[in-house]
Amino acid sequence: MKGRHNKKSVRVEFVMSEAEAELVKERMAELGITNLSAYLRKMAVDGYIIHLDMGDIQEMIRLLRICSNNLNQYTRRANETGSIYAADIEDIRTRLDSLWDGMDKLIRGFANIS
């Protein structure tokens, strides 16, 4: 029977104080977790839960889309007119350098997760 080893069949019960229960709820809320059983199981097995704030990554994606859109506009203009302005190239270079710096900070932040 494939997948049978994955079934949860052992029930574990314990009692906690009101203060402890409130603390557990607060920690779950901080992490955005709503399933108490999953939270307690994960904490009992691993002792920690990593919650990643994806806001910085979403901002990097937004900036990459803007840069990509600008590059497409510059390319379209170059194809239509046969030329492109040095200021446009420098603008893209500056934006890409900024994006690379931001990406480097994100990657270093991920590397420091332990």
**Global pTM value:** 0.47
What one-character-per-residue DSSP string does 35-47 give? -HHHHHHHHHHHS
Interacting residues of 92 by C-beta distance below 8 A, sequence separation 6+: 67, 70, 71, 74
Q: Give tens-digit pLDDT for 26-78.
A: 989 988 889 999 889 888 888 776 777 778 888 888 888 888 888 888 888 88
Name the residue with higher pLDDT: 15 or 2.
15
Any idea where the domains of the chain sit in the sequence?
11-48, 52-110
Q: Determine the pLDDT at residue 1.
A: 44
Q: Is the pLDDT score of 105 beyond 80?
A: yes
Query: What is the rounded average pLDDT for all residues in the chain?
Result: 83
More confident residue, 57 or 4: 57
Percent of all residues in the chain with a pLDDT value above 90, rounded to a whole number: 14
Q: What gap in Å lies between CA 71 and CA 89, rounded to an integer?
A: 9
